[in-house]
């Protein structure tokens, strides 16, 4: 589905008319294309700590134009604000206001990324206040940025360095076009697990991945993105979607498995198929889901039980089989598709919101169970995404939903897929139990 309004006001006469009338002025976002630079323009690393120095040195190895001091009126591709040694709220003033002086020099589709430490493990109330202050600072700043620029943050555990593999992996993701529709969000790096890929264009090379609900929409986009990144694919969907599933399998040169994931033996059948065809299983993406919307006052048992059964109960059973299998032991990755409905709720979707809230609870509780195998589990929570389903929303409602985020437009299935591909990679090995919103910083919800 095409957002014709965004295309119209992104340049020329349409942009001028929108400006004069005070209408929303979304811009076409810079999305990842293989072979393109991580980011265009100088990257300003702000901060006076040893961590800031080490990070700047690491970024130089990526062939980026790294600056430690701003040049007045020089257009910047990104500002990276290193706040890893805050001990009191007053410590924010100097680095933050120094970065603020360069905000007007950001290029379209620029990036602002903060690096800070967890508030919960601070050694004093003052340090906790300063660290938690970064949360409010970054989320507010993200709402002030314009022209497709985004602001996101990385939060480090006490024993995780600014240059650990997953810290650099998260930073690369946030700087790149892969995170085009991720805005105002934080990722916590809680361990030193993971490693950066030898081939940055094929970070999933050698991995065998399963994607459920892969016959169309977001699921098909996930399969294509994992394939582009080097994974071998097993695509799963219900038998009724068999023709579409076969088309996707052929496109990604994988195998199709027609399977109702709500079956009791679905997890074992997935494992058996992977082992029989490829001898291993490394990544499972829980994308399959359904909606059966109705106001709760009118909700019947069939609508409730079917949504809970497919969207969360099936994932729990499949995960139980995965955790019990000797074939899912080598730094395994699970990524589930949640929803902003599970965070903020949505009228007429009490069953769906309950199921997606359940996904997030499952992810947090399962993380330590996978950690013993060097594995991880995370969730991605999409907001308004341009799909066949959202195209059926009445025009006025659809336009409002598109504009209710800081980027003033809907996301694309590829935006969800890019976030999932990153979380499924070894570069995100130190990130687990997290829920990453892909919603353009939707104005509703946390």
Catalytic residue flag (residue 352): yes
Provide the β-strand partners of residue 113: 80, 152
As a whole number of angstroms, the distance between CA 213 and CA 348 comes to: 23
Radius of gyration of the chain from its Cα atoms, rounded to whole angstroms:
22
Output b/e per residue, 318-330; b: 16+ Cβ within 10 A. Answer: bbebbbebebbbe
Whole-angstrom Cα distance, residue 329 to residue 317? 17
d(C-alpha 434, C-alpha 421), whole Å: 14
Helix (H, G, I), strand (E, B) or coil at 366: helix
Which of 181, 192, 128, 131 has its CA nearest to residue 152?
A: 181
Q: Are 45 and 56 in contact (CB under 8 A)?
A: yes
Alpha-carbon distance of 41 to 92, in angstroms, equals: 26
Neighbouring CB atoms inside 10 A of 145's CB total 20
Question: Which residues lie across from 233 on neighbouring strands?
Answer: 209
Angle at 236 between CA 235 and CA 238, to 5 degrees: 145
Integer Cα distance of 145 and 126 in angstroms: 29
E-state strands within 84-194? 106-117, 150-156, 186-189
Q: Identify how many contiguous H helices and E strands the chain contains and give both numbers.
A: 15, 13
Q: CA nearest 244: which of 289, 284, 213, 272?
A: 213
State which H helix or E strand residue 438 sits in: strand 435-438
How many Å apart are CA 27 and CA 147, to the nearest integer? Answer: 6
Torsion 407-409-414-419 (CA) sign: positive
- Residues annotated as part of the active site: 352
């Amino acid at each position: 589905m095409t957002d014709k309004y965004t295309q119209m006001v992104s340049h020329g006469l349409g942009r001028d008319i929108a400006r004069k009338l005070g209408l929303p002025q979304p811009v076409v976002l810079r999305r990842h294309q293989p072979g393109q630079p991580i980011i265009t323009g100088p990257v300003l690393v702000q901060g006076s700590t040893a961590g800031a120095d080490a990070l700047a040195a690491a970024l130089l190895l990526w062939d980026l134009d790294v600056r430690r001091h701003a040049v007045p009126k020089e257009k910047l591709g990104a500002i990276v604000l290193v706040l890893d040694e805050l001990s009191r709220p007053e410590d924010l003033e100097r680095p933050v206001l120094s970065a603020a002086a360069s905000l007007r020099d950001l290029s379209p589709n620029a990036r602002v990324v903060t690096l800070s430490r967890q508030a919960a493990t601070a050694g004093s109330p003052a340090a906790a206040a300063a660290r938690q202050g970064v949360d409010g600072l970054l989320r507010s700043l993200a709402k002030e940025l314009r022209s497709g620029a985004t602001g996101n943050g990385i939060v480090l555990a006490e024993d995780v360095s600014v240059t650990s593999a997953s810290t650099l992996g998260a930073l690369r993701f946030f700087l790149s076009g892969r995170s085009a529709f991720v805005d105002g969000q934080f990722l916590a790096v809680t361990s030193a697990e993971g490693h950066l890929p030898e081939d940055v264009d094929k970070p999933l090379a050698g991995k065998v991945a399963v994607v459920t609900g892969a016959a169309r929409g977001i699921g098909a986009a996930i399969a294509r993105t994992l394939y582009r990144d080097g994974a071998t694919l097993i695509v799963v969907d219900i038998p009724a979607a068999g023709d579409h599933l076969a088309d996707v399998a052929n496109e990604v040169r994988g195998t199709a498995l027609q399977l109702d994931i709500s079956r009791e033996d679905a997890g074992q059948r997935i494992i058996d198929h992977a082992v029989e065809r490829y001898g291993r299983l490394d990544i499972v993406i829980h994308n399959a889901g359904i909606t059966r919307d109705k106001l709760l006052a009118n909700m019947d048992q069939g609508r409730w039980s079917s949504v809970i059964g497919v969207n969360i109960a099936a994932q729990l059973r499949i995960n139980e089989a995965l955790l019990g299998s000797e074939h899912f032991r080598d730094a395994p990755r699970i990524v589930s598709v949640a929803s902003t409905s599970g965070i903020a709720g949505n009228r007429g979707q009490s069953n769906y919101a309950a199921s997606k809230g359940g996904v997030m609870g499952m992810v947090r509780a399962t993380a330590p169970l996978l950690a013993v195998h060097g594995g991880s589990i995370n969730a991605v929570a999409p907001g308004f995404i341009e799909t066949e389903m959202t195209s059926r929303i009445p025009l006025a409602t659809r336009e409002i939903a598109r504009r209710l985020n800081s980027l003033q437009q809907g996301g694309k299935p590829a935006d969800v897929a890019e976030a999932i591909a990153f979380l499924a990679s070894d570069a995100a090995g130190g990130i687990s139990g997290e829920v990453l919103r892909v919603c353009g910083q939707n104005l509703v919800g946390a």
